[in-house]
Amino acid sequence: MAKVQFFDTTLRDGEQTPGVNFNTQEKLEIAKQLERYGIDVIEAGFARTSPGDFEAVKTIGETLKVSRVGSLARLVKEDIDAAYDALKNAHNPQIHVFIATSPIHRDYKLEMTKEEILASIQEYVTYARSLFEHVQFSAEDATRTEWDFLAEVSELAIQCGASVINIPDTVGFTNPTEYGNLFKYLKEHVPSFDQAVFSSHCHDDLGMATANAMASIENGALRVEGCINGLGERGGNTALEEVAVTLEVRKDYYGLDTNIHLKETKKTSDLVSRISGMPIPRNEAIVGANAFAHESGIHQDGVLKNPATYEVFPPELIGVKENALPLGKLSGRAAFIDHLQNLGYNTDEREEVNKAFENFKILADKKAEITTGDLHALMTGKAIEESSRYELIKIRTANQEENIHEASVTILDRKSGEEKEGIGQSVGTVEAIYNTIDQIIGKQYTLEEYRIDAITQGSDSQAQVHVMIQTPEGEQFNGTGIDFDVLTASAKAYLQAIQ
């Protein structure tokens, strides 16, 4: 079975994501995990751009033993020399040279004619091959290049020693049908097509990066380039984990193998997310927190009977322990009973379960997420009476001195109808508010999770704060608060979580 190679550029193109900056040690940590993941080629950086990139390329190249390590370089002698100097002691070095070929880049960026570009390829791909056994050539902005000129460029690069020809959709311009046809055209019009590996490199500006990559594979590409979690400038790159899992799940269709160790997928994704500071959206394909979460009652019932009803691959495939059936207002009886059974409750008493389920539905209309603690409260008959028991009336904060914040909080106990107030201090404003609330209520909670999201964009956006708290007995409860003021939203969330 033929294999698709995976070329990861998280450390180079992924680092071009606004706000992302890796130091050498961070790059090395990611590179080691990419090697464990089974990535064939790791582009460690652009050696000539900075001393830091040079050091990263050098260090990674001399450390990794299995994955090939490469550096990007323009068709410029100084770039190629810098890549060679960084990789001359690497175990498996590669160089990746490129030049733009589209009319808009020729006219406005390079100010070069077609003939000048061909001459540059002739000179510098040949030079790169004299220093490196493995040379990859990229025609930047290939998808906006005249197809006949792209075929001419590709053939020349192969004749000059390139063993990989990359066809980048640099600005995310193409679509799957067009990109697939481009590879088909090159296969028919590049005489030496079979003497090189053709590769895709797609950007996600129009949301089609992964689909375009798959179209290239269907039409002769045997290498795919991209980044973990789809990192990259603008809309990002092809998410390599999506391609890897697709090739495995649909092996019946594509008939291709890879060297990827799929059980390392989630671990690799989480590491890149943590080091880059780029959170993974919950609804992200393959690696998002909701990828194996089912809240719809119909879906939950199907998954409980057979996970394959709503999951095209098991979570264990990518290193996730199990799927999740979060309870919310759309959940049905099957998932509710399954949760109760997992908590050790006897669900044979039909009347008791029916009453608990009715109360669960009432509670789910008030709280976005239902926790284990909520279920325990439901089964003891406390949840409905105590849900959102406390209402925030007033909150004031002040800085008393350096690193000391004071909070004054007034709340309404809906159960007793009594207003209660208190004053507390701490090193942080939110912590001072929560300490004060604990003091008013007379119970100490532990803050397990605190998250802020902006509901809309702009300076007038409301803040949505989510918290998870734990009682001294170990029960956990969720709460959500919304307000234009972050501190007020924080207090509301904490009060909603308290049972």
Q: Are residues 197 and 53 in the same domain?
A: yes
65 occurs within a structural domain = yes
Q: Are residues 199 and 257 in the same domain?
A: yes
Which is higher by pLDDT, 385 or 459? 459
State both tokens at 321.
Answer: 């322990």
Q: Are residues 40 and 107 in the same domain?
A: yes
450 occurs within a structural domain = yes
State both tokens at 83.
Answer: 């890549």
- Distance (Å, rounded) from C-alpha 292 to C-alpha 326? 10
347 occurs within a structural domain = yes
Q: Are residues 246 and 303 in the same domain?
A: no
Phi and psi of 326, rounded to 5°?
Answer: -65, 140
Q: Are residues 107 and 252 in the same domain?
A: yes
3-17, 130-144, 476-490: lowest mean pLDDT where? 476-490
Q: Are residues 255 and 318 in the same domain?
A: no
Q: Are residues 344 and 460 in the same domain?
A: no
Q: Are residues 176 and 39 in the same domain?
A: yes
Q: Are residues 103 and 82 in the same domain?
A: yes
Phi and psi of 82, rounded to 5°?
Answer: -65, -40
pLDDT on residue 383: 45
Inter-helix orientation angle 24-37/265-276, to 10°: 170
pLDDT on residue 456: 46
- Residue-wise pLDDT tens digits, 401-429: 777 899 999 999 888 889 999 999 898 89
- Specify the number of domains making up the chain: 3
- Residue-wise pLDDT tens digits, 480-495: 887 778 999 899 989 9
Last residue of a domain, one of 385, 404, 434: 385
Q: Are residues 105 and 214 in the same domain?
A: yes
- Residue-wise pLDDT tens digits, 193-248: 999 999 999 999 999 999 999 999 999 999 999 999 999 999 999 999 999 999 99
Q: Using CA atoms in the order 441, 442, 443, 444, what is the torsion angle rounded to 10 degrees?
A: 100
Q: Is residue 123 predicted with pLDDT exceeding 50?
A: yes
Q: What is the CA radius of gyration of the chain?
A: 28
Strand partners, 452: 465
Task: Report the half-sphere exposure of 50 (CA within 13 A, side-chain side).
Answer: 10
State both tokens at 94.
Answer: 């590669």
Q: Are residues 450 and 357 in the same domain?
A: no
DSSP 275-290: HHT-PPPTT-TTTSTT
- Give Cα separations from 170 to 46, 125, 294 (angstroms): 17, 20, 36
pLDDT on residue 380: 57
285 occurs within a structural domain = no
221 occurs within a structural domain = yes
Q: Are residues 91 and 229 in the same domain?
A: yes
Name the residue range of residue 365's domain.
297-385
Mean pLDDT estimate for the chain? 89
